[in-house]
Copies of this chain bind each other. A is one copy, B any other.
Amino acid sequence: MTRPAQIHDVAARAGVSPSSVSRALNGGRHVSPAVQARVLRAAEELGYEPNLNAQGLRGQASRTVGCLVSDVSNPLYAELVSAAEARLQDEGYLFVLGNSHGDMARELALIRLFRRRRMDGLIVALNNETHPDLLREIEQTAVPLVLLDRDVSVERDRVSADHRGGAYAAARHLIDLGHRDILLVTPGHQVRPGRERMAGMESAFRDAGLAPEGLTFSLQASSIAFVFSDVKQALAGPRPPSAIVVLGTQMLAGTLSAIASCGLEVPGDVSVISIGDTDLARYAAPGITALRWDLKNVGRQAAELLLARFGGDVAPPRAVVFPMELIIRKSCSPPGSNRRGAR
């Protein structure tokens, strides 16, 4: 294999100087059409590919965006990431993905790595909103940065979903059906979505004048780990929930398994609402009533905010919040619907 062509080679072949090649290839201003044409052809013939490391070093934007999430294999993130990537790709940006797997050390390392790469912008969903090291890391990031669905006390663009409103609506729906004992299964309160969901459901209980003891939480550190046993334990407990609100990822999977393995049915014995309208929620049987928000739009919006900043937008940080909508399916009914049946 031969050395890749350099700007120098193109220049030689076109019979011009490297600077003319550079000008001809970027923008094409201050170059005569004749030279422009010759350069283009020479570059084509040589299969010239500018070295982006060198371009980046010389001071240009690197046209690269870093994205940090806990795990793309989470379908919620996957959809968001895919949309953000698509939008940025349209503008010629490269998209670097880092999965933290919930590990703070990895988050720190990744943000640092992103910075060393001199990325033009970052999209981040931290797993820890308060740790000073992480905060410092964010603050030290000079390039545009969009916070995904997190409340971090730094002045940055952010895009979030209205988890509070969504949770309120979900709780309200269940309360209206007569439920008084509801279990919320969600990633924990160290991040915004969890906190907001709890707050939303609590205020629904309050507004309905219900005893707050009816609301219990199963706060999960990892997406999958202990949901099954937690839910099973709750259902076997002294005051089992008659309804469960659960994140529509593997957590929903674990919850449905747990319910089934207790010999219970949805919705007869337990009503279920999924947070996030995933395939699983949509096509489980019975269809699971779900809180939907437009993840593609969230991802696109994050990209859009970055692109605006790249374009020189210096307005104060924006916060975009996407609404959540309750999609009614068949997984909710009044509590005790099944009690008449033999079991």
Could you tell me which A residues sit within 8 Å of B by CB distance? 1, 4, 47, 49-54, 56-57, 62, 71-75, 78-79, 81-83, 85-86, 89, 94-99, 101, 106, 110, 112-113, 115-118, 140, 142, 250, 252-253, 256-257, 278-280, 282-286
- Say whether A82 contacts B86, CB under 8 Å: no
**Contact A89:B112 (CB < 8 A) given known A79-B73, A283-B257, A283-B280:** no
Q: How far is the CB of A267 from chain B (nearest CB, A)?
A: 13
Q: Which residues of chain B are within 8 angstroms of A94 by Cβ–Cβ distance?
A: 96, 98, 113, 117
- Say whether A112 contacts B49, CB under 8 Å: yes
In the bound assembly, the distance between CA atoms of A51 and B1 in angstroms comes to 28
Give the number of times this chain occurs in the complex, counting copies: 2
Q: Which residues of chain B are within 8 angstroms of A89 by Cβ–Cβ distance?
A: 98-99, 106, 110
15 pairs of residues in contact across A and B, judged by CB atoms under 8 Å: A47-B140, A50-B116, A51-B116, A53-B57, A53-B117, A73-B82, A78-B78, A85-B98, A86-B99, A94-B98, A95-B97, A253-B283, A256-B283, A279-B279, A285-B285
Known: A57-B57, A86-B101. 17 other contacts (CB 8 A): A1-B142, A4-B115, A4-B142, A51-B116, A51-B118, A52-B117, A53-B117, A73-B83, A75-B75, A78-B78, A81-B97, A85-B97, A94-B113, A252-B283, A279-B279, A284-B285, A285-B285
Of all chain B residues, the one with the shortest Cβ separation from A256 is: B283
- Say whether B85 contacts A116, CB under 8 Å: no
Q: Which residues of chain B are within 8 angstroms of A86 by Cβ–Cβ distance?
A: 99, 101
Of all chain B residues, the one with the shortest Cβ separation from A71 is: B82
Q: Which residues of chain B are within 8 angstroms of A62 by Cβ–Cβ distance?
A: 53
Q: How far is the CB of A277 from chain B (nearest CB, A)?
A: 12
- Say whether A81 contacts B72, CB under 8 Å: yes
The 8 lowest CB-CB distance pairs between A and B, nearest first, are A285-B285, A73-B82, A53-B56, A97-B97, A53-B57, A73-B78, A78-B78, A73-B79
Q: How far is the CB of A200 from chain B (nearest CB, A)?
A: 25
Q: Which residues of chain B are within 8 angstroms of A49 by Cβ–Cβ distance?
A: 112, 115-116
In the bound assembly, the distance between CA atoms of A289 and B85 in angstroms comes to 33
In the bound assembly, the distance between CA atoms of A101 and B89 in angstroms comes to 11
In the bound assembly, the distance between CA atoms of A279 and B50 in angstroms comes to 43
